[in-house]
Amino acid sequence: MISLVKISLAICSYNRYEKLKVLLEVLKKQIENSAFAAKTIGSSFELIIVDNNSADETKSLKDFSIKDNEYKYLVEMKPGLSAARNKALREFTGDLICFLDDDVIVQPNFIASLLKISKRPLVEIGIIGARVKLPKELKESNFLKKYRFISPSVFPEHDYGSFAKKYPFQEQAKFMENPIGACFLMSRDVVDSLSMFNENIGVGAKKFGETLHEDTEFFRRAMNQGISLEYSPELCVEHPLDDDRLDTRRIYNWYFNSGKSFVLLAKHKPEIFAKKNQAELIGVPYALLKFWPSFLNFEFLEIPFYMHFKLVVVYFLSVLVHLTMQESWVIFYKAQFFKTMGEIAGFRLVKLVET
């Protein structure tokens, strides 16, 4: 007897009507073209839009529909991607839920890949991260060479080969601990066992100003509870780049907010961001931390001394590399300088919260 499996697709959106409309039409076409295959294996779809109080034409999509499948248009008034995702988590009725950014381009076999995953025993599905690719023409150009030392998450990109693997893994000299939020899938059992996304951090959240890594916090929390995290390249999307994503000022701003966010998370979620991760986020190799003299663990202007030391060192290096005329190194060390400034801002925010 075929067991029915419903797959919920959730897209949280804010003021991206045109891109969202294109994505909906592509998903609709793929779902309707896959109707026979879905019926054969006993799967159906639920498409959910969470409008995070957009000011554009997004509201006109409330009358969108998909033949023989469910469609929900929801509004979340509280600003922030985490709040919008939590709205979807409260309202979805599927056995699996797949989150998509509103500006991605799904590959032609995207729905077929979801149907293939739905045939697996649900108890074996934890969290599955997609392969997130940059546009081919951009990837093959020389333009990105100056950003070769910059974190792929800035763009974002999460492209680590054609073979499935469990997180964490080592790939291309990078240690990957979790998926990214552009596209990921999880079972209802996972949703029921975890608390919601942290609404105090993430894109659009207001409490601490601009912050990032609400997805990282969620995934690390899942891993800490023993939930399986898997990289699945067959679940693939392309993430186009707006012009501002390649603006170095935006990249430096991303690093600043990244540094600030990780300090906030390390302080308020120590059970997930263990000592090793705290050491890495302040730029000190964990292996060397045990040699750090304890008498230097004091605060100056309410900021740990080692952060002042790191700021001076990174600033010196960022100035020094200008002499090499290697643009990629200049961008990298400037990014590290802004990340350190963000970490210091994070420590100040922690002090404000504590008082």
pLDDT digits (tens, 9 = 90+) for 171-183: 766 788 999 999 9
Q: Are 135 and 238 in contact (CB under 8 A)?
A: yes
Instruction: Indicate if 34 and 123 belong to the same structural domain.
Output: yes
Contact (CB, 8 A) for 218 and 162: no
Phi, psi (rounded to 5 degrees) for 206: -105, -20
Dig out the tokens for 162 from the structure.
């054609």
Which one of 241, 266, 282 terminates a domain? 241
Kindly state whether residues 57 and 198 are assigned to the same domain: yes
246 belongs to a structural domain: no
- Place 318 in a pLDDT band, splitting at 50, 70 and 90: confident
The CATH number that applies at residue 189 is 3.90.550.10
The whole domain housing 307 covers: 252-354
Residue 238 structure tokens: 């392309």
Does the residue 247 lie in any domain? no
Quick one: 135 and 102 in the same domain?
A: yes
Task: Decide: 55 and 180 in contact? Cβ < 8 Å.
Answer: no
Residue 173 and residue 106 in one domain: yes
Among residues 112, 114, 72, the alpha carbon closest in space to that of 93 is found at 72
- 135 with 105, same domain: the answer is yes
Q: Is residue 293 part of a domain?
A: yes
Which of 200, 222, 241 is the last residue in one of the domains?
241
Total tally of structural domains belonging to the chain: 2
- pLDDT at residue 273 is higher than 60: no
Model pLDDT for residues 238-267, shown as the tens digit of each residue: 999 877 777 899 999 999 999 999 989 887
Residue 219 in domain = yes
Residue owning tokens 């504590």: 354
Q: What is the CA radius of gyration of the chain?
A: 21
Please indicate, yes or no, if residue 163 is contained in any of the structural domains: yes
Domain boundary among 189, 222, 241: 241
- In the numeric block, the tokens 């991260």 are attached to 129
Are 210 and 178 in a shared domain?
A: yes
Instruction: Check: pTM over 0.85? Answer yes or no.
Output: yes
Do 255 and 334 meet the contact criterion of CB atoms below 8 Å apart? Answer: no
Residue 185: is its pLDDT beyond 70?
Answer: yes
Report the distance separating Cα 67 and Cα 32, nearest Å.
7
Taking the alpha carbons of 46, 52, 57, 62 in that order, is the dihedral positive or negative? positive
157 and 258 assigned to the same domain: no
Indicate the range of 101-115, 157-171, 237-251 predicted with least confidence. Answer: 237-251
- The CA distance from 167 to 191, in Å, is 19
Nearest to 256 by CA among 152, 154, 145: 154
- The three state secondary structure string of 63-132 is HCCECCEEEEEEECCCCCHHHHHHHHHHHCCCCEEEEEECCCEECCCHHHHHHHHHCCCHHHCCEEEEEE
Question: Is residue 45 one of the residues assigned to a domain?
Answer: yes
- Gap between the Cα atoms of 262 and 220, Å rounded: 12
Q: How far is CA 270 from the centre of its chain?
A: 20
